[in-house]
Copies of this chain bind each other. A is one copy, B any other.
């Protein structure tokens, strides 16, 4: 249980102070923070609450959008914004910044992917200097057009491998990669570069491309198998439970966290 981390999107109704206090109360020693939530009270106040409650940050979410394509169509300077995110991560005491790299510009998939590689190259030295690793997260192919032209761990790894392992890693999120016929070998190749392991399940039928997540155990994902893979590749860091689910978001945070702990214990801990 000492590796369980609450990704705060799972308890969306909770503010940062509520989520940190909630974790401390439930004996959950890690939290994955989101920048928009942190911004509500500020980075310094968040850092103070973390120290006071003895909760550590497993990762900060998120930088990226290097292709200029965002889900809501708003313009963004991904490189500049990610520099800010790197600074925030360092001040929050986490070495892991999750990147969502951005969707397809026009219909130029290859060019969009090149823009991602270029941006990572530009940012890697900045991140390394600040002790923060850029965590390239492969997102599910159904999010390729709008959110991420990185669709597989293999592909994220190809970009990461151009840089020191302390500067650029890959985030393995079960929801995004469980279907991948190459996932075992891809994770094995990622040894030393796994910057995070996020667990959840997939709703069946999958009625929503973003909110189609469920608590571990409620879908087709074999969590113990994937955990064995990341551990065989040397990952022994925190394991974030990250669930985007409209029904869960209607429940009180404390009840959600109770269910997170229960499902993690039942389905994600080696049996």
Contact = CB atoms under 8 A, between A and B. Distances in A.
Interface string A187-218: 00000000000000010111101000000000
A119 B97 CA distance: 45
A109 interface: yes
A241 to B, nearest CB: 17
A45 interface: no
A206 B145 contact: yes
Nearest to A151: B179
A113 B219 CA distance: 17
Interface stretch (A14-22, A87-95, A136-144, A227-235): A136-144
Residue of A155, A178, A181 ringed by the most chain B CB atoms within 10 A: A181
A107 B180 CA distance: 14
Interface residues of A, number: 33
Residue of A71, A202, A209 ringed by the most chain B CB atoms within 10 A: A209
A2 interface: no
Contacts of A140: 141-142
A146 B107 contact: no
A104 B221 CA distance: 9
Closest 8 CB pairs of A and B: A144-B179, A142-B142, A141-B179, A104-B220, A107-B222, A145-B220, A155-B181, A145-B204
15 contacts: A103-B220, A104-B220, A107-B221, A140-B142, A142-B142, A142-B206, A142-B209, A143-B206, A144-B220, A145-B206, A151-B179, A151-B180, A151-B181, A206-B209, A209-B209
Interface of A: 71, 103-104, 106-109, 113, 140-146, 151-152, 154-155, 178-181, 202, 204-207, 209, 219-222
